Chains A and B, each alone.
Chain A
Amino acid sequence: MSKKILIIDDEPDVITYLSTVLKSHDYLPYAIDNAISAMEKVKEIKPDLICLDIMMPRETGITFYTRLKQDKAYKDIPVIIVSGAVAEADFDIKNFVDDKSIPPPDCYVEKPIDVDKFIRTIEKFVLQERR
């Protein structure tokens, strides 16, 4: 069965793009355009991996991430940050969360994405989970 991947991004073009890329690589993409109702979506579809944007209106990706990692049932879902806001090297989530027990995200992918690299990254985490 195809792996379910949840895309959380406020930008419709990003959703379309990532969905198309994932679909053409035999993944099953789901999407939600805001962080506030993202948790419900997680509970509903139980994704194998989450692609998360950071800068979103109303609630940032970081707030969602914190909530996810505090939820025992879902904290093990791998999260890839897909953002144009920061380069991987400059970004340390520890500076943004109060709860120091929150682990850093599994991976960062900078926008605009390199499709091959993006797919390899996804594969790595999904396969890891399979093992």
Chain B
Amino acid sequence: MARNSSKIEKRTHDRRRLSDLVFHELFQQVPFNVAIIDRDYNIIMANDNFTEYFGDWKGKKCYAVYKKLSKPCAECPSEEVFSTGKAVAADAVGIDQQGRKTHYIGNVFPITEEKGGRVEYVMEMTRSIIETGRLQSEYQILFDRVPCYITVIGEDYRIVRANEAFRENFGDVLGQLCYTVYKRRKTKCPNCPAAKTFRDGKIHNSTQLGTGKRGQEINYAVSTSPLMRGRGSVAHVIEISNDITALRKLEQEVIEAERLGAVGQTVAGLAHSIKNILMGLEGGKYIVSLGLKKNDKEMINKGWDMLERNFEKTTSLVKDFLSFSKGRLPDLKMISPAKLAEEIVELYKDIAAQSGIELKMELDGKIKNAPLDPDGIHTCLTNLVSNAIDACLMGEQRGTEVVIKVSDAGGKLVFAVSDNGSGIDYEIKKKIFTTFFTTKGGAGTGLGLLTTRKIVQEHGGKIMVESEKGKGARFRMEFPRKRLMALYKS
């Protein structure tokens, strides 16, 4: 019996010894500064990490060791644990044994004799976050100083964070609605890129026009990316914007310079047209007065006809110019491009046939409806088809034809007008779209293709020509459907 009890005692003793060893090892090895503190703020035990970090602690009060203070801290987490019996998280700034300021975080746990009993001691496990803190402040500087605007927006469209560059230009905006801040709007912006990101969790890019805190216009290119909550929904969206106001201004200056250049060319072209008309008017006047002098009625009539014809030309020149200079947005309607082309064929079929030219239409597959300005495209096709007919008349070939082809592939709606007439030589091809130009002598005003190009560009499209002298010509008007839709929606 006694032997048995001594055996049990030994086993219990061994176990306790083992647990002491384990406790000691654990106490020393945990990557924390651990200290046990009693109700009178005395540190009664601490591990080597703690000693290394805060210095000698034996016989000292915790506030003296942690913060080198002479009385308890204003907000003491340990006091809370002693009174509530519950563990708390702590976050404090202290002074290490070299006298450097240190930021540490950790937890304070109650130690009781029995479960639920009076808290005799607390265990403080802390860890320096100096390194983390440094990274954090580096990140903060980066966030604030990058030369772009950054905001973080919540699901309610309120701004949660904004960097310095943003605040400088848009004001102090935390907690405000993004659309009020970015654009001084009372309602959400149409086509909001952040809304798209909230919906699909993807990155969206767009360019926007905002209003700064001083009422200044700010053009910015914005990219919205999601901040996911785990694998779930998008909790926040980061908006990163580049200020492109200066770039836009530069672009506008270039456009303006080009416009002035074009005005110069237009004026020169206009002068040429007027000179030709004046020549006709002078001629008419000369012939009429010569006829009067000679009392030659036939001559007077001839001169008078010339005068009339050239006055008529002045009128049509002015009309053409007015329709060219009319800066208007295309009046887009959902129409059938094929039907539009058909109308032109109907209009010109007889005129073409009278000159021995066959006017045909080809449809390349099924052509879907598209938002186009019917009047504008009508003008374009009229110009191209009448040019093509003229080219056929000028050429020496027999069996000439003009083909209007409509195709709709690769996101592009294309009208092509081709002929096998006289073709265009290189010198002329270079300037047909840019200069007020005519090869038709007095018969043309030189505005047809300029006007056509203008209308095509107003639709977001472009016009091209392929031709070789003597081998006919092919004009292509290309309209990217995406741009047509964008114009249509706006």
Contact = CB atoms under 8 A, between A and B. Distances in A.
Contact of B394 (A58, A85, A115): A58
B45 interface: no
Interface stretch (A38-46, A49-57, A64-72, A100-108): A49-57
B442 A24 contact: no
Size class of the contact patch on chain B: 20 to 34
Interface residues of A, number: 24
A17 B309 CA distance: 13
Contact of A17 (B306, B422, B443): B306
Given A10-B442, A55-B438, A60-B439, 4 more contacts: A10-B441, A11-B276, A17-B306, A20-B286
Interface string A76-108: 000000001100000000000000000000000
Interface string B269-288: 00010011011111110110
6 closest Cβ pairs, A-B complex = A17-B283, A84-B275, A10-B441, A11-B442, A13-B280, A112-B279
A16 B306 CA distance: 9
Contacts of A14: 279-280, 283, 442
Contact of A56 (B281, B302, B310, B441): B441
B282 A17 contact: yes
A21 B390 CA distance: 31
B309 A13 contact: yes
B290 interface: yes
B184 interface: no
A13 B283 contact: yes
B15 interface: no
A27 B438 CA distance: 31
Interface in B373-398: 390, 394
Interface of A: 9-11, 13-14, 16-18, 20-21, 24, 53, 55-58, 60, 84-85, 110-113, 115
Interface of B: 272, 275-276, 278-284, 286-287, 290, 299, 302, 306, 309-310, 390, 394, 422, 438-443
A17 B286 contact: yes
A16 B299 CA distance: 11
Contacts of A57: 390, 394, 422, 439-441
B278 A55 contact: no
Nearest to B423: A58
A121 B275 CA distance: 20
Nearest to A36: B396
Given A11-B442, A56-B441, A58-B422, A115 B275 contact: no
26 contacts: A10-B440, A11-B276, A11-B279, A11-B441, A11-B442, A13-B279, A13-B306, A13-B309, A14-B442, A16-B287, A16-B306, A17-B284, A17-B286, A17-B287, A20-B290, A20-B299, A24-B290, A53-B441, A57-B422, A57-B441, A58-B394, A58-B422, A84-B272, A84-B275, A111-B275, A113-B279
Nearest to B446: A55
Contact of B441 (A9, A21, A110): A9
B280 to A, nearest CB: 4
Contacts of B439: 55-58, 60
Contacts of A21: 286
Given A9-B441, A55-B439, A17 B280 contact: yes
Contacts of A16: 283, 287, 302, 306
A112 B275 contact: yes
A17 B279 contact: yes
B344 to A, nearest CB: 23
A55 B441 contact: yes
Contacts of B440: 10, 57
Nearest to A115: B286
Q: Which of A13, A85, A110, A111 has the most CB of B within 10 A?
A: A13
A20 B283 contact: yes
B290 to A, nearest CB: 6
Nearest to B428: A60
A52 to B, nearest CB: 13
Contacts of B279: 11, 13-14, 17, 84, 111-113
Nearest to A96: B427
A47 B276 CA distance: 25
B282 A113 contact: yes
